[in-house]
A and B are shown apart, each in its own frame.
Chain A
Amino acid sequence: MSILALFFIVVSLLSFVAAQLILKRAMEISTTRGLGNSQFVSLAAIGTALMTVSFFLTLGLLQRFDLSYLYPFQGLSVIFVALMAAVVLKEKLSLRLAIGALLISAGIVLVSMS
């Protein structure tokens, strides 16, 4: 049961992080090439699909666990998204931003632990 839960938590988190990166890329394309661009449409569709998967998996998890148990994992998404945006999208991740993201993640974990 707990391995199954962990599996769904990880899949939900991964699809959420991937969706954010893909949607950001899609919106970047839309600023230069417009909303009719086929690359924009396909990326936006993939990103939206991944968000939907993550949404329903979270809804399934919420039926079994308290928000306080699931929240630390949402907190981790801050670090993952910031790191992956720097690595994959080549965004500037200054030390200040990295420390900020880390503190926010740590804070969310603390908030949900108590």
Chain B
Amino acid sequence: MQNRPSGFGNPWLQLGLSVACVLVSEFLLKRGATDIAAPDSAFSWTGVNGLASPLVWWAILLIIASFISWLYVLRYIPLTIAFPLSRVVDILVPLGCWIFLGESISALRWCGIALVIIGLALVAKPIAQIEERL
């Protein structure tokens, strides 16, 4: 890993921003896709009919934003580290539903969340040590 910019250009901050944009876009996409669902039409397999929903357009804006910060992240962080870390979004979605929407989380789902957190810790720990040394 080479010299990294600090402040807003810090790739770890950009990774966080990218994840936050993806998180919000997932909710918007599911809502948008459900609103305009047309499962009887073969054309809708392409998903292009989803563009009829304004929510989908908001999601696309966020996805483009997350995509730009993701490209920036890729300049500095290896894919084997950056990509697993980016999947923190997969536990933030159910945790978000639990905290903000009051949905319950089953025991099995808690186990899954725990596994992801352990996995993230395994991936993140060597980096924390590298960063400390710099």
Q: Which residues of A contact B (CB under 8 A)?
A: 4, 8, 20-21, 23-24, 27-28, 30-31, 44, 48, 51, 55-64, 67, 71, 74-75, 77-78, 81-82, 85-86, 89, 91-94, 96-97, 99-114
Task: Say yes or no: A60-B45 contact (C-beta < 8 A), given A93-B80, A104-B87.
Answer: yes
B46 x A111 contact (CB < 8 A): no
Q: Which residues of B contact A (CB under 8 A)?
A: 2, 26, 29-30, 33-34, 36-39, 44-50, 56, 63, 67, 70-71, 74-75, 78-81, 83-84, 87, 90-91, 94, 105-109, 111-123, 125-126
Name the 6 nearest CB pairs between A and B, nearest first: A110-B112, A59-B47, A103-B119, A107-B115, A107-B116, A100-B122
> What DSSP secondary structure best describes chain A's contact surface?
helix
A113 x B80 contact (CB < 8 A): no
B87 x A108 contact (CB < 8 A): yes
Residues of chain A within 8 A of B50, CB atoms compared = 56, 59-60, 62-63
